[in-house]
């Protein structure tokens, strides 16, 4: 209790140092003491708070986090949409009435990872990279979902990646290292303050422990939690009795497919958001809820330096926000929507050394780099382990060119200069004449170098140039709409979002 009041005091110090005057000091002290009391008796105090003058606390709080979604990811996607017509003209949250900029540094470095950023976004406490739901001294810290629950509200998390991956796990888990997936899976099952959770499945340490996603699903069922795969299975959850976990329609996958690789019937983020709203509003219409939704794979496309995929992931995240906006339209005075990111990934630049962009050159891309690689392995006559398949026919250089034209547009819509052509010939020679395939590894995938270089080259021609495959320390946008949105004008850092939510929502 003491700690929270101290955090709040620091926060207001921070915000009021520029124009401190007597009335502000008074206000500050009043707010801090109110907050201290609220922490003592959240449910009671929240009720009382409604009788105090001023705006009503928001009841339905949506906290949308694009993993790896910097400004250039957002506006690069918007550029693409506007030029090609292949996506909404404006990414919905760029039009939100309140927008501010936040810093993201962690307690250990200026360039955060998703665990430290997730912890700051979920709890308001900065920690070291890889630390999850713990402070720099490894002490557990509680999330906004925990505090909402203390106040009698509901809480949910949804993501396109594993449900115990860093960002969602920061809202319920505590681990010295984000990769302690078994521990985090168990913590989710035990976290009774998370009423609804959705994601691909449980990330796990099966190679080490033999416990796979299904093991943790069985444990969830033993704990009385409803576990469903795909929207046909979960149906309408408004009246479901008990906690719920919603997973990918394919139980073998612990994350969703990239949006551009999805086929009809595949689970997508909007399915999770609809299910979460059904459930949370169904159970907590009166008391309210906090619902965290992560576009978790924007980051993967950034690590892989794949602009077309990155754009489609951002659009998919925006589509999930459309579902939230439809809810907002029904409850405009009681809903607060926050959209932000944890960090930027890939050092994406818009322009690529020329005073023009050609986003339309990306339109030919219908598959992610991962899936183009799968097709390339078929052409190359090798299996998933990259070993030659029986009866393998080695492709000719012309066939490889044809492939790069079909999937990436090279030589068709995108001119290839002499140097790059020579580089492709050399790569072909190495891969197919010397049988020494070159592999490019990124954080979440591996790619044949021909495919990887072709995608980087096409991205650059389109004006999307990647600096590397890691995170950057770039500041990020915080986009806010709804009840008390302007209260977030003062937020300048990722650790200040949760204190502000708790202040305005009075819990
Ligand atoms: Zn990342």
Show the domain range for 397: 361-465
Distance from the alpha carbon of residue 142 to the mean position of ligand 1, in angstroms: 23
Residue 158, helix vs strand vs coil: strand
Judge if 377 and 278 occupy the same domain. Answer: no
Judge if 153 and 20 occupy the same domain. Answer: no
427 burial via Cβ count (<10 Å: 0-12, 13-18, 19+): buried
The answer to the question of residue 136 being in a domain is yes
The answer to the question of residue 55 being in a domain is no
Residue 47 confidence (pLDDT):
56
Judge if 245 and 377 occupy the same domain. Answer: no
| Residue numbers of the chain with a pLDDT score lower than 70 | 1-54
Beta strands in 117-243 (DSSP E): 154-159, 196-199, 226-229
Q: What is the CATH number of the domain that holds 266?
A: 3.40.720.10
The answer to the question of residue 138 being in a domain is yes
Q: What 3 state SS string does 449-473 have?
A: HHHHHHHHHHHHHCCEECCCCCEEC
Distance from the alpha carbon of residue 325 to the mean position of ligand 1, in angstroms: 27
Around Cβ 34, how many Cβ atoms within 10 Å? Answer: 17
Distance from the alpha carbon of residue 388 to the mean position of ligand 1, in angstroms: 32
Residue 16 confidence (pLDDT):
39
Distance from the alpha carbon of residue 115 to the mean position of ligand 1, in angstroms: 9
How far apart CA 395 and CA 58 sit, in angstroms, is: 61
Residue 49 confidence (pLDDT):
52
344 burial via Cβ count (<10 Å: 0-12, 13-18, 19+): buried
How far apart CA 69 and CA 475 sit, in angstroms, is: 10
With tokens 């794949």, the residue in question is 306
Judge if 188 and 320 occupy the same domain. Answer: yes
Judge if 15 and 68 occupy the same domain. Answer: no
Judge if 378 and 314 occupy the same domain. Answer: no
With tokens 């595949």, the residue in question is 266
Distance from the alpha carbon of residue 303 to the mean position of ligand 1, in angstroms: 7
Judge if 232 and 373 occupy the same domain. Answer: no
Point out which residues pair with 157 in neighbouring strands: 197, 292
pTM: 0.89
The answer to the question of residue 150 being in a domain is yes
Distance from the alpha carbon of residue 109 to the mean position of ligand 1, in angstroms: 15
Q: To the nearest 10°, the Cα dihedral for 52, 55, 58, 64?
A: -140
How far apart CA 347 and CA 490 sit, in angstroms, is: 27
Judge if 67 and 104 occupy the same domain. Answer: yes
Distance from the alpha carbon of residue 261 to the mean position of ligand 1, in angstroms: 20
Residue 84's contacts (CB-CB under 8 Å, 6 or more residues apart) are: 359, 360, 362, 363
The answer to the question of residue 308 being in a domain is yes
How far apart CA 441 and CA 303 sit, in angstroms, is: 10
Around Cβ 179, how many Cβ atoms within 10 Å? Answer: 15
The answer to the question of residue 290 being in a domain is yes
Distance from the alpha carbon of residue 70 to the mean position of ligand 1, in angstroms: 12
Cα dihedral 340, 342, 343, 345 sign:
negative
The answer to the question of residue 478 being in a domain is no
Judge if 499 and 443 occupy the same domain. Answer: no
Residue 493, helix vs strand vs coil: strand
Q: How many structural domains comprise the chain?
A: 3
Distance from the alpha carbon of residue 351 to the mean position of ligand 1, in angstroms: 23
Which tokens belong to 367?
A: 């598959």
The answer to the question of residue 480 being in a domain is no
Distance from the alpha carbon of residue 476 to the mean position of ligand 1, in angstroms: 15
Which tokens belong to 134?
A: 């713990």
Distance from the alpha carbon of residue 159 to the mean position of ligand 1, in angstroms: 14
Continuous segment of H or E residues that includes residue 349: strand 349-350
Judge if 76 and 16 occupy the same domain. Answer: no
Residue 361's contacts (CB-CB under 8 Å, 6 or more residues apart) are: 409, 413, 414, 458, 461, 462
Judge if 313 and 280 occupy the same domain. Answer: yes
How far apart CA 58 and CA 483 sit, in angstroms, is: 6
Judge if 138 and 13 occupy the same domain. Answer: no
């Amino acid at each position: 209790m003491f700690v929270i009041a101290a955090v709040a005091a620091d926060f207001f110090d921070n915000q009021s140092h520029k124009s401190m005057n007597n009335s502000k000091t008074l206000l500050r002290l009043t707010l801090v003491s109110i907050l201290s009391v609220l922490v003592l008796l959240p449910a009671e105090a929240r009720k009382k708070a409604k009788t105090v003058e001023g705006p009503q606390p928001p009841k339905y709080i949506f906290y949308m986090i694009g993993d790896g979604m910097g400004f250039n990811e957002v506006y690069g996607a918007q550029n693409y949409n506007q030029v090609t017509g292949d996506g909404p003209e404006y990414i919905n949250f760029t039009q939100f009435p309140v927008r501010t900029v936040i810093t993201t540094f962690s307690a250990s470095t200026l360039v955060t990872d998703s665990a430290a950023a997730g912890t700051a976004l979920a709890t308001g406490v900065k920690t070291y990279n890889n630390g999850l739901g713990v402070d720099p001294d490894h002490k557990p810290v509680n999330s906004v979902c925990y505090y909402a629950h203390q106040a009698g509200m509901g809480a949910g998390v949804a993501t396109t990646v594993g449900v115990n991956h860093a960002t969602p796990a920061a809202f319920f888990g505590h681990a010295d290292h984000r990769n302690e997936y078994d521990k985090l899976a168990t913590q989710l099952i035990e976290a009774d303050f998370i009423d609804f959770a959705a994601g691909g499945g449980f990330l796990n340490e099966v190679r080490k422990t033999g416990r796979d996603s299904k093991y943790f699903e069985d444990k969830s069922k033993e704990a009385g939690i409803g576990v469903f795969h795909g929207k046909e299975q979960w149906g309408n959850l408004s009246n479901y009795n008990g906690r719920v976990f919603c997973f990918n329609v394919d139980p073998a996958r612990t994350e969703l497919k990239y949006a551009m690789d999805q086929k009809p019937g595949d689970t997508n983020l909007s399915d999770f958001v609809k299910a979460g709203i059904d459930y949370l509003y169904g159970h907590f219409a009166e008391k309210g809820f906090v619902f965290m939704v992560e576009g978790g794979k924007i980051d993967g496309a950034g690590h892989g330096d794949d602009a077309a995929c990155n754009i489609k992931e951002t659009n998919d995240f925006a589509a999930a926000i459309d579902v939230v906006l439809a809810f907002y339209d029904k409850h405009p005075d009681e809903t607060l929507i926050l959209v932000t990111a944890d960090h930027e990934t890939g050092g994406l630049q818009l322009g690529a050394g020329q005073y023009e962009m050609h986003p339309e050159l990306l339109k030919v891309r219908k598959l992610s780099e991962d899936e183009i690689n799968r097709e390339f392995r078929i052409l190359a006559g090798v299996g998933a382990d990259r070993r030659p398949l029986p009866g393998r026919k080695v492709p000719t250089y012309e066939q490889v060119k044809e492939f790069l034209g079909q999937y990436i547009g090279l030589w068709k819509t995108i001119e290839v200069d002499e140097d790059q052509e020579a580089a492709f010939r050399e790569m072909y020679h190495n891969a197919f004449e010397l049988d020494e395939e070159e592999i490019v590894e990124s954080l979440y995938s591996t790619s044949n170098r021909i495919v990887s270089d072709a995608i980087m080259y096409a991205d650059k021609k389109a004006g999307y140039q990647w600096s590397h495959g890691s995170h950057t320390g770039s500041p990020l946008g915080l986009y806010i709409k709804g009840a008390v949105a302007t209260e977030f004008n003062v937020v300048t850092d990722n650790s200040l979002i949760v204190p502000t939510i708790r202040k305005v929502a009075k819990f």
